[in-house]
Structure 1
Amino acid sequence: MMALNRSLRTFGSAVALTAASALLLAGCSSSAGSDTGAVTLEFWGWAPGLETAVETWNDTNPDIQVEFFRMTGDDGAKIPPAIDAGTAPDAVQMSVHSLPGHIINNRLIDIGEYTDGLDASFTASSWKGVEFGDGVYAIPQDSGPTGLMYRSDIFTQYNLAAPTTWDEYLETARALKAANPDIYIGQFSPNEIGLWTEQVWQNEGTFNTIDGDAWTVEVDNDKSQEVAAIWQTLVDEQLVKVVDMWTPEYWAEVNAGTIASINYAAWFPALLAENAADLTGKWSVAPSPTFAGSDAAGETGGSVDVVPTGTENVEQAVEFLTWLNSSDESLDILIKEGGLFPTALAGLDNPAMLTEQEFFGGQVINEVFIDAAKNVPSSWVDGPNYDITQDALKDEFAKVGTGAQTFAEALDAVQALTVTNLKDSGLSVK
């Protein structure tokens, strides 16, 4: 993997974006707080509860003080040019999917020398997401293991059980349609790629792999094609409702009871309860259906905390971020106050995770998601052009939704586009 690291850094030096202007972000780059040697770090993030966690840290760590800035709106878009201009904060929360693109542009510090043994504190899949080559480029923060949210009242009415495999899911979908043609077992939402990636990930697939000093693109590999076959059947037989997620039309379908299940991430139940409050007590959560011969669970990815290039006090920044994401004290705050679904094993064991949910009839739904988090494959590798691949999938899946092409054709198109884009960017692709 050493060759890959050299390749990434060489490429990053050649194509690093030039900031349009030097963003003068207050407090950027680590600074000494006083003659006593105290350090003040600036940390940008968006997770609820971070203010309280930072305050707690500051109360007991006078030598490493943290100033927190809450990111909203387009604040995330300011970070890349700020790093390029040397004016970035000392630590930043970002999506795990964005790491490779920042790494190849030399925007993140390899913090591996300060994280020896820390991997044992996190789920295997979340730690895999922050490793590239021989380096470690982030501390995992939260994740999105999946579960099957389903209308237990509808399933009971039609004498159906929550499917445990994807084969059973198809059988249950057909039985539900036969019993009531106006109810679909789920939805196909071309605009929400997380519904796709979670299932490919569960099937031990990925969008990319790393081969020596080159990238490979796996968008249309056998694992993805197996998922495509399932979804092609669901769409062809009209077993799922074709509707874009997050739209008023989508929530109208959910509230009308035409969508009987949603297989999605651990953070989605809160949104479901918020947008379908009148359905309190009618939903339950079961483990996601599995692929034959496997107990692997799905995952959508989550956020991580990084140390941008230019940060002076790297060791202190990593010390804070390690505490933030793995200490019992901080995890207790982020879970209770922020509703965070942690990647740290200590967080998964926190009693605060096991609260009954009124919307789900008093069920302790996190029991399902915690089990899932521990069974996510470590197969997933994000590519440096993840956003390009994701947007292309949305465009091609929209054509599938109208019947203009098949899932297999969509994957072929996105595979070709992703390869071309990587090559045009100057990266080696196998």
Structure 2
Amino acid sequence: MFLPRSRTIRGLLATVAAAALLAACGMPGSAADDEVTTVTFWSWTSGSQELVDRFNATHDDIQVAFEQIPAGTAGGYSKMYNAVRAGKAPDLVNVEYPQVPAFVAHNVIQPLTSRGVEDLRGHYPEWAWNQVALGGEVHALPINMAPQVLLYRADLFAEHGIEPPATWVEFRDAAERINAADPDTVIATLGNTDAGLIAGLAWQAGADWFDTSGGAWEVNSTDDASLEVARYWDGMIRDGLVNAEPVFAEKHIADLQQGRSLALVAAPWMMGNLSRFVPDLQGTWGVAQMPTWDGTPVAGNYGGSTYAVPEGADHPDEALEFARWVATSPEAVAAAAPVSSAMPADIQLYDAWRTALEEANPYVQGMELPEAALAASESVPPDWEWGPDMAQGFTSLMDEMTSAVGQPQGLENALHRWQDTTIEQLRIRGFDVGD
């Protein structure tokens, strides 16, 4: 059973008694005046420890105790759910955008509107704010975002006489030219188990897999936009123009190092993977806007996370103060930049991020990654919704993709099966699902 948001009567009486005692003593500068509140914070994302260290060094009245937990879908989210149910909730947790609706539906996190977060609305792109503003309440603060961009080997594109493609038709044309010149080389690798990647590509195409505007959960991963994406990539895989395999697995790393795979549908955070796995390729990469279906600039989102205050948190106001600092402070950007290339969601931090990232990370110097990411963030369609259980949803879609991608109409069939499975599972769990 979830804890109520109000304090217990005993807690209230204790607070009143302590305040009365302090007033009676009339001792300014006493230990109570200097009391430090310790906020417990759970996360797994790169840069979390650095953020905590910088905050603690610059704040006296609030200190943050950081606990590294497993990645969300690797056990971190289950740990959060169980802690809330057991009455042992931390004060602040890291929640990725796709999981926010589930945390809201199961009353795991508190609404924050009454705590004054609406003043931050103008700091974010509309689509990013929509990810946390559900049902008339704001439930989390966006921390970083991941607009899709195209990372490509600028040196090898130049050898082939190819410019970054503006449309998906041009992308295929470029792939055919590259493959004709060297049958062992493909233009890109498509993560064949990456449900988030496919969702981002569908988002870019104008799909909306979930819709609650009618008062029930509508599920549709087989609309025209989604199937156009599926058929396109099924054709690219069938014709040997892209590889379909897990990205940054041993085979993919070797393909990158040896110039056999030349591009990635990516997001700013992926620069950390490249600098880790192929450090010798520093200086060879370029970044461009995503190819689009009609030439109009548009990107999907491919990652990103929020900070949320769980139900039962002992120090919600202090936790939110730390969250606001991380979300809006140039100091936070500077603290995280040496270990993370993730883009802050607050667009007012763009200049600070660009400066800090390029100073701290030689791998991205000269690429103009921040400029490309900012332009991409401004083009993400605002109406995309996630379902009420994307932890299970992504697992299910990954399973479907693993068994189907590379087969005839594999991705298309995976989306059809996933839609049927998702609708069935939501109904079993008691969600109101439209016909």
TM-score (norm 2): 0.85
Corresponding residue number in structure 1 for 2:398: 394
Corresponding residue number in structure 1 for 2:28: none
Partners of 1:48 and 1:242 lie apart in 2 by 27
Alignment check: 8 A CA contact 1:46 1:70 kept: yes
Map 1:404-419; keep pairs closer than 5 Å: 405-419=409-423
Q: Any idea what SS the aligned residue of 2:384 has?
A: coil
Corresponding residue number in structure 1 for 2:430: 426
Q: Any idea what SS the aligned residue of 1:316 has?
A: helix
Q: Any idea what SS the aligned residue of 2:381 has?
A: coil
Structure 2 unaligned residues grouped into runs of 5+:
3-14, 19-30
Q: Determine if the alignment matches structure 1 residue 110 to structure 2 residue 111.
A: yes
The 3 A distance-change label for structure 1 pair 54 and 272 is closer
Map 1:374-393; keep pairs closer than 5 Å: 374-393=378-397
Q: CA deviation at 1:145?
A: 1.5
The 3 A distance-change label for structure 1 pair 81 and 217 is same
Q: Any idea what SS the aligned residue of 1:81 has?
A: helix
Alignment check: 8 A CA contact 1:186 1:261 kept: yes
Q: CA deviation at 1:277?
A: 2.4
The 3 A distance-change label for structure 1 pair 241 and 53 is closer
**RMSD of aligned Cα (Å):** 2.6
Query: Which deviates more, 80-89 or 43-52?
Result: 43-52
Corresponding residue number in structure 2 for 1:100: 101
Map 1:328-347; keep pairs closer than 5 Å: 328-336=330-338, 338-347=340-349
Deviations along 1:240-289, one digit per CA (max 9) or x if unpaired, are: 11222232122122222211111111111221122122333332222211
Tell me which of 133, 139, 142 is aligned to 2:141: 139
Partners of 2:261 and 2:273 lie apart in 1 by 15
Q: Any idea what SS the aligned residue of 1:428 has?
A: coil
Q: Any idea what SS the aligned residue of 1:117 has?
A: helix
Corresponding residue number in structure 2 for 1:223: 225
Q: Any idea what SS the aligned residue of 2:218 has?
A: strand
Partners of 1:361 and 1:66 lie apart in 2 by 32
Alignment check: 8 A CA contact 2:238 2:408 kept: no
Query: Which deviates more, 278-287 or 164-173?
Result: 278-287
Corresponding residue number in structure 2 for 1:66: 64
Q: CA deviation at 1:72?
A: 4.4
Alignment check: 8 A CA contact 1:232 1:406 kept: yes
Alignment check: 8 A CA contact 1:123 1:373 kept: yes
Partners of 2:322 and 2:146 lie apart in 1 by 23
Corresponding residue number in structure 2 for 1:208: 210
Corresponding residue number in structure 2 for 1:9: none
Deviations along 1:68-108, one digit per CA (max 9) or x if unpaired, are: 32334645532110011110111111222211222111111
Map 1:276-425; keep pairs closer than 5 Å: 276-336=278-338, 338-350=340-352, 351-355=355-359, 358-359=362-363, 362-403=366-407, 405-425=409-429
Structure 1 unaligned residues grouped into runs of 5+:
1-12, 17-30
TM-score (norm 1): 0.86
Corresponding residue number in structure 1 for 2:236: 234
The 3 A distance-change label for structure 1 pair 219 and 356 is same
Q: Any idea what SS the aligned residue of 1:302 has?
A: strand
Tell me which of 35, 39, 42 is aligned to 1:44: 42
Query: Which deviates more, 396-405 or 241-250?
Result: 396-405
Partners of 1:224 and 1:75 lie apart in 2 by 30
Partners of 1:320 and 1:297 lie apart in 2 by 30
Partners of 1:296 and 1:205 lie apart in 2 by 13
Q: Any idea what SS the aligned residue of 1:181 has?
A: coil
Partners of 2:60 and 2:329 lie apart in 1 by 18
Q: CA deviation at 1:412?
A: 0.9
Q: Which amino acid aligns with 1:71?
A: I
Map 1:30-41; keep pairs closer than 5 Å: 35-36=32-33, 39-41=37-39
Query: Which deviates more, 337-346 or 151-160?
Result: 337-346
Alignment check: 8 A CA contact 1:342 1:348 kept: yes
Q: CA deviation at 1:59?
A: 5.2
Deviations along 1:112-163, one digit per CA (max 9) or x if unpaired, are: 1221221111222221111111111111111212211112222222211110
Deviations along 1:352-375, one digit per CA (max 9) or x if unpaired, are: 244596546732322211221222
Identity %: 28
Partners of 1:285 and 1:315 lie apart in 2 by 40
Deviations along 1:384-406, one digit per CA (max 9) or x if unpaired, are: 12123222222222333342543
Partners of 1:360 and 1:330 lie apart in 2 by 19
Q: CA deviation at 1:316?
A: 3.1
Q: Any idea what SS the aligned residue of 1:67 has?
A: strand
Name segments (4+ residues, structure 1) moved above 6 Å: none
Corresponding residue number in structure 2 for 1:198: 200
Q: Which amino acid aligns with 1:89?
A: P
Corresponding residue number in structure 2 for 1:125: 127
Alignment check: 8 A CA contact 2:234 2:408 kept: no
Query: Which deviates more, 46-55 or 368-377?
Result: 46-55
Corresponding residue number in structure 1 for 2:6: none
Which is greater in Rg?
2
Partners of 1:185 and 1:176 lie apart in 2 by 7
Q: Which amino acid aligns with 1:152?
A: A
Q: Which amino acid aligns with 1:307?
A: V
Partners of 1:282 and 1:51 lie apart in 2 by 31
Alignment check: 8 A CA contact 2:338 2:361 kept: no
Partners of 1:369 and 1:103 lie apart in 2 by 29
The 3 A distance-change label for structure 1 pair 315 and 204 is farther
Q: Any idea what SS the aligned residue of 1:211 has?
A: coil
Q: Which amino acid aligns with 1:239?
A: L
The 3 A distance-change label for structure 1 pair 240 and 178 is same
Alignment check: 8 A CA contact 1:356 1:362 kept: no
Partners of 1:81 and 1:75 lie apart in 2 by 10
